[in-house]
Amino acid sequence: MKQMKRLGVLICMLFSMLLIALPAYAADCDASEQYVQIKNKETNRLMFSPGPIFEGNPGDEGGWLNSPELVGADANYYERARWYLVENGDAYMLKNKETNRLAFSTGPIFDGDPGDEGGWLDSPALVGADANYYNRAQWYLVENGDAYMFKNKETNRLAFSTGPIFDGDPGDEGGWLDSPVLVGADANYYNRAQWYITGPGACILE
């Protein structure tokens, strides 16, 4: 009987220690300081930031018209496929670890029903902007099965991976110059708006 009581006390102590440890782990999870990689579920391509590294203050470039287009690369060349998830109000900004540019949704605001545009061929490109102009660099993370969709707060468009499916080894394409552009689509055609989020910064999703 005494052994049973001792066992019960021990179990209660271990459970209490576990509860104490959990908040400590959550406090260590700062996605704005820990990168993620964002890989498309269908095309196997990584969200990638081309163009020059931005080293100024947000807004120095005066807009996004000359911002470099984001692409879906086959590998993490020069750390340009790594991103910080920066919490911003009720949404997130995606800031590239290497270029310091924000994933940004160009083009008209979409206010119809998913699929109204009939495809992604005329969908506006996503670019890497130097600032969050008009909230177009803010994204809602929408859980979708085992992956996530990134829905732009301002344009209502989904981050979408165009181009051929990549089924080789990382680096087979030899760079990103011919990588297909990412666009802001009105719907999740063929699961190309679904993304896996991995890396130490993904702890915020747990």
Domain ranges of the chain: 1-29, 31-205
Please tell me the class of the 31-205 domain.
mainly beta
Q: How confident is the model at residue 17 (pLDDT cuts 50, 70, 90)?
A: very low
Question: At 151, which helix (H) or strand (E)?
Answer: strand 147-152
Summarize the confidence of residues 167-184 as an average pLDDT.
Answer: 98
Nearest to 106 by CA among 155, 72, 148, 61: 155
- Report the C-alpha gap between 128 and 146 in whole angstroms: 26
Q: Structure pTM?
A: 0.85
Q: How confident is the model at residue 90 (pLDDT cuts 50, 70, 90)?
A: very high
**pLDDT for position 31:** 78
Nearest to 94 by CA among 142, 19, 163, 32: 32
From the CB of residue 70, how many other CB atoms can be counted at a distance below 10 Å? 27
Strand partners, 86: 93
**pLDDT for position 16:** 37
22-26, 30-34, 65-69: segment of lowest average pLDDT: 22-26
Q: How confident is the model at residue 30 (pLDDT cuts 50, 70, 90)?
A: confident
Query: Nearest 10 degrees: CA dihedral of 92, 95, 96, 100?
Result: 180
- Report the C-alpha gap between 102 and 52 in whole angstroms: 13
